[in-house]
Amino acid sequence: MSVSIFERAQTSARYLREQIKREIDVAVVLGSGLGAFAEKLEEKLIIPYEQIPDFARSTVEGHSGRLVVGTLPGTALTIAVMQGRFHYYEGYSLEEVTLPLRTFGALNVKRLVLTNAAGGVNTAYRAGDLMLITDHINLMMISPLRGQHDDRLGARFPDMTEVYSRAYRQFALESAAELGIKLHEGVYMSLQGPNYETPAEVRMLRLLGADAVGMSTVPEAIVARQMGMQTLGISLITNAAAGVEEGEINHAEVMEMGQRVSGQFGQLLSKIIARM
């Protein structure tokens, strides 16, 4: 008999509770090239994913594959940071992709920050820009909630009117203004990947209302919404999507841009979380 996703999350949570020995105030998921934020934490506890029961393994360059728990400098907040996530394109099911979010829910985490590296579909965006996610479009064509329902995970038909918290978005805008950082507001669209989109597909995405495109985040946000988490989403625009500018797109470019803006990104994230 297979073990339910609820029970698997409880098992992971029990292990983490024994290791961490304190309540987590905010959980953060870091996208490609953005792992440096975790190094800012004080009194760090580092737990490789392979040590956490039922967690998958991150196989993508730029995803360190470890959970870093510590205190955000200047605050008393305990932050749990995922240095890297799991992706559907790696061959994992969406249950496996979102198990860390289920685990955070089992640990009673109510505040979540999701970040990602994304391609700029909006022609006004430039590489290195940051985009506050106001909403998303799921073109992965599959939901992480598909399958037999378990009431312990949340509502069968969760409302998606406000997946990304309006209050948190306001915190982000205020923090960016104080730091003098330009922060776009836009719609994130997710596709399965791992191939990048064609120029024709990017034109279609723009017509459908996307400002940025990537291969993650949306399944996590849906699960977080079902569990009642307040969620903030931020995309780093690492490159112009195919056809927007001349030249090819590659993962090394994504990684390089993440490293280039890591300092500014970390400043902004720290200020936002302190407000949360």
Closest alpha carbon to 183 in 72, 264, 81:
264
Structure confidence by residue, pLDDT tens digits, 145-188: 999 999 999 999 999 999 999 999 999 999 999 999 999 999 99
Is residue 87 flagged as an active site residue?
yes
Name the amino acid, one letter, at 127.
Answer: A
Is residue 216 flagged as an active site residue?
yes
Closest alpha carbon to 126 in 36, 32, 261:
261
Taking the CA atoms of 108, 43, 112 and 15 in sequence, report the sign of the dihedral they define. Answer: negative
The CA distance from 45 to 68, in Å, is 6
The CA distance from 172 to 269, in Å, is 8
Residue carrying the six token digits 């890297």: 84
Beta bridge partners of 115: 234
Taking the CA atoms of 168, 118, 87 and 274 in sequence, report the sign of the dihedral they define. Answer: negative
Which entry of 12, 13, 27, 63 is annotated as an active-site residue?
63
Which entry of 13, 27, 32, 38 is annotated as an active-site residue?
32
The CA distance from 230 to 100, in Å, is 16
The CA distance from 202 to 52, in Å, is 38
The CA distance from 222 to 164, in Å, is 10
Residues contacting 197, CB < 8 A, separation 6+: 119, 191, 205, 213, 241, 242
C-alpha 194, offset from chain centre: 17
The CA distance from 229 to 238, in Å, is 27
pLDDT of residue 92: 94
Is residue 149 flagged as an active site residue?
no
Structure confidence by residue, pLDDT tens digits, 62-99: 557 899 999 999 999 999 999 989 999 999 999 999 99
Kindly state the greatest CA–CA separation across the chain. 55
Which entry of 138, 251, 253, 256 is annotated as an active-site residue?
251
pLDDT of residue 133: 98
In the 8-state DSSP scheme, what is residue 90? Answer: G
Q: Divide the 276 residues of the chain into consecutive groups of 10 and give the mean pLDDT of each group.
A: 89 97 96 82 95 86 81 95 93 95 97 95 93 97 95 96 98 97 97 92 96 97 98 91 62 72 90 94
| Exposure class string for 36-59: b at 16+ Cβ within 10 A, else e | bbbebbeeebebebeebebbbebe
Domains of the chain: 5-275 (3.40.50.1580)
Is residue 122 flagged as an active site residue?
no
Is residue 63 flagged as an active site residue?
yes
Tell me the backbone φ, ψ of residue 105, rounded to 5 degrees.
-60, -40
